[in-house]
Amino acid sequence: MNTLSSWAHTHPRRRRAPVARQHRWRHRGSSRAQVAHGIRRIHPPQRRDTTHASSTRHPRAIRNCARPGGGGGASPRLTKLRPFATAGATLLGAGLVVFSPPSLGHAPGLAALREVTLTAGDTGLPDLLAPWIDQFNTASENATKLLNTFYEAPGIGTQQMLANMSAYLQDFFNDPTSSSVTSASHEIEANLAAVLTGYGLQNADAATTATVLSHTLECATCLTGHGGLFGQIPGYIPADEQAAALPIINFIGSPESGIIMGMLGPGMSPWVALGNSIADGDDFNTTLANMVGAFFNGADLNLDSLLPTINGLGLFPAGMNMSNLDIAFGGLLSPGSVGPNVGGDAVGGSIFNSVGIHFTGVPLIGAIDAPSEPVGPIGALEGWGQTIADLLGWSGTGSPLADVTLPLIPDDFLDPGAGASSAVADLSSLWQDLVSALGL
């Protein structure tokens, strides 16, 4: 018995269920007469821990398994890669079917790709962009109004002041006496006092109050609207409380309150818009568009839930009720709406002008409607600039410097009888008047 046979008898082999394959391998250089040894090999286990210690491979058999096309089954590494190779082949085949040219046809049973057209009748890009387009158009209209107002008279308050100074100097050249200097100083002092008291409407005279309200309220000269309501508020306040309440009422109609409201608006409006969208059940895209648009265009806060409480206080005459209450917060580009006419046609605003109120059952007139008018920081500052110009003598339209004439010195200005020397001495009184007007 040869060595291989004796080794096989002394080392019994553990066999597995699969049918064994018989491989034949000829030694190189051997003659035809030499009989090749048949070796039955069983596929090696895929897990090392399942191999019995007694199943040690013969070195020649191991080399046989490693040869291409040799017996002994696949390598453990190749066996582990079989699932991935199978999946890759499946994906490759599917790709060839899906992306094959039309001439090759398509596999039966596969769904055809749906064609999507971006038309107004289909749900797609137009529907997604619709709320954004509305917000953009509103912002563009507001910005256009702000730009037109600014370029009509940039720095209109400063322009009116320069126009006034030119007129004062010309009056002095024409009449170089103390009377012209005194007249100019008194007018400058009155204008300065009007600007200082008109900013917050504190201790302002009737003329200043009327001028300021025309730049902070809508329909300032109407019986209805914000102008009419503002004039009727003191009548609903008890006489013993008016002294404390009137300064507050004047403040909420002042340019200062409009600037404060305009500064707060861009920060408050997006959150107000979020609450409105949640209450209306808007989708995410519309809600986001409303919040972004509110930063530029403002948002309206509805306060109708307070109406039962307000109407139950007994402040209004019998049969008169408040049927609407809201506050409009302006955005960055909200111009506001003020002026003597209904609806207003100028920029600016105030806290009171931002409040929307509607009364029914009003005696004699039936109803009062004062819609809320949002104002932003730019619109409030432009409105204040026009207010200053109006308090300084602006005509209300155009640029104050459009037709200004610079002063000219007459030929007889330095004549001995002109009184120029005495007028120069009165310049000190002008300075004292300015210092007293400033409260220094």
Burial track 133-150 (b if 16+ CB lie within 10 A, e otherwise)? eebbebbeebbebbeebb
pLDDT at residue number 413: 76
pLDDT at residue number 421: 54
Contacts of 290 (CB under 8 A, 6+ apart): 131, 135, 273, 274, 276, 277, 282, 299
Q: List, in sequence order, every residue forming a beta bridge with 23; answer none if it has no partner.
A: 39
Number of domains forming the structure of the chain: 1
**pTM to 2 decimal places:** 0.68
pLDDT at residue number 54: 45
pLDDT at residue number 359: 92
Domain hosting 366: range is 140-425
pLDDT at residue number 87: 47
Contacts of 28 (CB under 8 A, 6+ apart): none
- The Cα–Cα gap between 290 and 272 comes to 10
> Per-residue pLDDT tens for 6-41?
555 555 555 555 544 444 444 444 444 444 444 444
Of 210, 189, 236, 208, whose CA–CA distance to 432 is shortest?
A: 189
pLDDT at residue number 246: 92
> Per-residue pLDDT tens for 71-115?
445 555 545 545 544 545 444 444 433 334 444 444 444 444 444
Q: Is residue 183 part of a domain?
A: yes
Q: Which residues of the chain have pLDDT under 70?
A: 1-123, 342-343, 415-440
Contact yes or no for 297/135 (Cβ under 8 A) = yes
Q: Is residue 47 part of a domain?
A: no
Q: Is residue 414 part of a domain?
A: yes
Of 400, 341, 395, 397, whose CA–CA distance to 373 is shortest?
A: 341
Q: Is residue 412 part of a domain?
A: yes
- The Cα–Cα gap between 344 and 374 comes to 12
